[in-house]
Structure 1
Amino acid sequence: MTGLGPGYGHEPLFGVILTPDAHRPERVVDLALHAERVGLDVVSVSDHPYQPGFLDAWTLLSWIAARTRRVNVLPNVANLLLRPPAGTARAAASLDALSGGRVALGLGAGGHGEAIHSEGGPRLTVGERVDAFAEAVRVVRALATPGPPATLDGRYHRLREAVPGPPHPRPIGLWIGAVGPRMLRLVGRLGDGWLPSATRVPPHALDAGHARIDEAARAAGRDPSAIRRLYNIPAPPGVQAGTGPWADQLTRIAVRHGISGFLLFSDERATISRFGEEVAPRVRKALA
């Protein structure tokens, strides 16, 4: 138990994670529009810049934001070893301005090291990757947040009196995909949200992750409840037979493990419909 109530006090969010299939781009966009129609809050796409069978995540999200009116969009998660953080911050702020404040940033330190290196990315150890990511998050925060010019003297990233901007409607949430202890502590120090996947962090392991995040947040003088906890989830087997057990399972995870956002891996129209029209309302009602 988190001890802070369901979702650390945050209102629940529900969304979808779409495969950015370059062979069927019109279908990806249609699924995004469908997710909005069935009441979901977030449309996200995975970010693997080295995968030629995938559409570029930022280009796709910009197109989706232009075609939708309500849903938030985010990369899940942006690969900061192949996306320069200053450019990522400017792109996010620009899309937030164009979309009327509907952008969040899922951020990751970058897996698939050899694929990243094949695209010109640095070859780093795991520890170096975390250090580089921490600096990159600071760059993104500095340039996507209104304030004075920013300077950062890092080993991997540097700023020299860089002026934040462009102006945009609201603060952009930095939701960090983290699994290991150092990354979890980084979430506590620097992140606005934790975004693990159930395939790597099963429900029984969530509380240990929360504990590391909360401890690091308090040590940094932050309130742990300010950090939203989200969860990337697959659809359970047999979902077509009924959504009641699925909704009950997500309610238990929210109550017992502090989760306030569920993002569903699915490219199936019917499954997205059930999630948006049946599961999400039932969970919201139970948590209310």
Structure 2
Amino acid sequence: MSVSPRLVGNCLHTLNLLNIFLYGSVIYAFGTNPQSTVFDKSWLQEGFCMPHPDVDYQTTHDLSGHVMVVISLLGLALQRCLSHRQASKSTTATESTLSKADTLTFWALIGALGHAWGHYFLAFSHREQFFPPSEESFMDDLLRSSLPEAIGKACPGLPFFWMPLVQTYMINTAKGRVAIVAFFCWFFSLLMQVRFGFSYAQSVLFAGMSVDQLLLPDSEKGFEYALWPLITTVPSGIFAWLESTSCSSNSMMQQHGHLIYDVYMASSYILFYLICWTRANYSVVKTKTV
């Protein structure tokens, strides 16, 4: 008896949500306790594994931004090329199947470009000391600022970061609801300690993706629905745990830091699409043979 993709996808998306809840809860409970041994001390300083944070223009944020831009642009070019190639020989069924993978992959890679922009902004902020100390919250800094300064620091994040990124992760959700989700994501981000800002952002975006997918009609929960969390969000969640707990003890993390997480995340979208494209291409060949 085969297991339905709907059941597999439901379980994996639920697992992703549970992992995010656990991750956030553990950070809340132990992340601010200097005596805690749950998280790596090096990771707790900035919320990242940063092998050489003091080398200008070669920090983990700079390198992650560069690598994610390259992988994302290559992925978009590959997806466009393979999609056009498949369209010339596909049947109605395979075209419908691949179109779902096209949509998921395209917006995920656009989101990865937004992720890269976030790293560039963090690199700039690190050099210019734009952010308050890592153990303070953004709100602490805003309350010390004049009203024009506070508006200039806080308000751009909603339309230029949260709105577009939430939209790329919740592609099936109505824009009005996306705006509401983005507003609350933005507001609560101001209450986060600076060092946990990026973990917070990635957690709520991945959670939004899983909720968006879980709310799909059962008729749309096919192969792609089950494959997506298996290849992308669930493994990324595992990498987040590894980075936060073994930043100093793991040799790979010591050498490459957060870059490992970002390389996998962006590459996983391409891997997801290649699997879907190969499956659709095989279906076409099999149909013609029969």
TM normalised by structure 2 equals 0.24
Length-normalised TM-score, structure 1:
0.24
Greater fraction strand: 1
Q: Which has the larger radius of gyration?
A: 2
The one of the two structures with greater contact order (alpha-carbon pairs below 8 A, sep at least 6) is 2
More helix by share: 2
